Structures are given as structure tokens and as C-alpha cells.
Chains A and B, each alone.
Chain A
């Protein structure tokens, strides 16, 4: 299995621009998570889906952030408009089930907003 695939690996954009991050989970995994990691705040859960349905989006910082999962093999996280404080590494992870199956993480997207 190729694992969780995220794209792009790096994204540099200017403040105010729209940013779209993409994730392909492991086939057969019913749960998909979006995390953000920064030095200051550590690892933060943004949102997670079960069977393509958003279950908990309480971690989404503002209305500027939105996430979709149109099918079992694809999810996007969009930031519009982006701000410098959104600079972070964004991780996607998937798992076959909660609570006892481990998460499989992608290698992340490093976002820099100037």
C-alpha cells in the first residue's frame, strides 16, 4: 500500500490567496483526519470524517478554513483567504476504525504564507 498521500509537499503563497491541500487516504480506511502542527501550538486536530461525513470540525480555527471529502479516496482542506498565521505543517491521517486502530499519517504539507 502506498500509504496516505498528501499534495503538495510544500506550498508558498501570499496573504489573501486561496490554498488547497489534498489528501488520499489508505484504501479501506473509514476515518480521515486533518491536523495542523506548529512549534507554538503543537499538534492540533482540525476536523475528522467517518465514511466521508464530517464528524467533528470544532478544531477548524475560522470560517476561512473548510474541508471536504467528496468520496472515500479524496479529501481537501481549503484556506480562503490565507493569512501568515496559517503557516504550519498540515497532516492528513487515516485509520480503519476507532478507538483501537492506529492512525496512518501522510508526510504533510508545509504551508508558508507571506
Chain B
């Protein structure tokens, strides 16, 4: 069965530091993969998606994610954190059914 694991329910980084949010999927076939962001009191919105065209995917707000089949991973990164990046981030995998990770709250320290 498919599953999505996000390591760390909370991640804290200093402003200007590298952001790394981890996501691993479990399925026998590489799924479509998504990262969503949720700001307070809002719905989730798409950051980026992987659909097999390229392993490095660039998204909005300077985020990118790299698909690594050998590691069944799709980690989200941003070179330099900004205070406005503070939000909850969700990884999701789809092979028809959409499976969500538990989410990671990103905290930015001034």
C-alpha cells in the first residue's frame, strides 16, 4: 500500500538558512508527487509537482524538490529561508488515490 512519510512534525531554521523538509514515499511504482503549503487560516496551495518530466522540480517562492527513485524521496529545499516561509508543508503522492503526509510545520527564527 502507498504511504507518505514526512520526517519531523516541526522544523526550525534561522532566517537566511537552508530549508530542508523531508518526504519519503512507499509504492512499487513511482507516483506523481506534490508539495503543498498551508498558511494560517487558509487552504492548502500547490508549491510544486513531480510528473516524471524532470527529477529536479522548481516551484513557487524559490522552493524546489528533487525526486530520487533510489531513495524513494522527494525532499523540499530552499536555499535561504524568509520569515514569510513560516507555514505548514504537506507532501502528497498519487497513483490514482492521493495519499498525504502528516505535514511539517516550518518555523523561521529571526
Contact = CB atoms under 8 A, between A and B. Distances in A.
Contacts of B45: 105
A93 interface: yes
A61 interface: no
B42 interface: yes
Q: Identify the interface centre among B41, B44, B49: most chain A CB within 10 Å of its CB.
A: B44
**DSSP class of A's interface residues: helix, strand, loop or mixed?**
loop
A114 B66 CA distance: 45
Given A42-B103, A43-B103, A98 B44 contact: no
A98 B43 contact: no
Given A42-B103, A43-B103, A99 B32 contact: yes
A108 interface: yes
Interface in A58-114: 91, 93, 98-100, 102-108
B94 interface: yes
Contacts of A42: 100, 102-103
A99 B42 contact: no
Contacts of B98: 45, 98-99, 103
A85 B81 CA distance: 37
Interface of A: 4, 42-43, 45, 91, 93, 98-100, 102-108
19 contacts: A42-B100, A42-B102, A42-B103, A43-B100, A93-B43, A93-B44, A98-B94, A98-B96, A98-B98, A99-B32, A99-B95, A99-B97, A99-B98, A100-B49, A102-B49, A103-B44, A103-B46, A104-B46, A105-B44
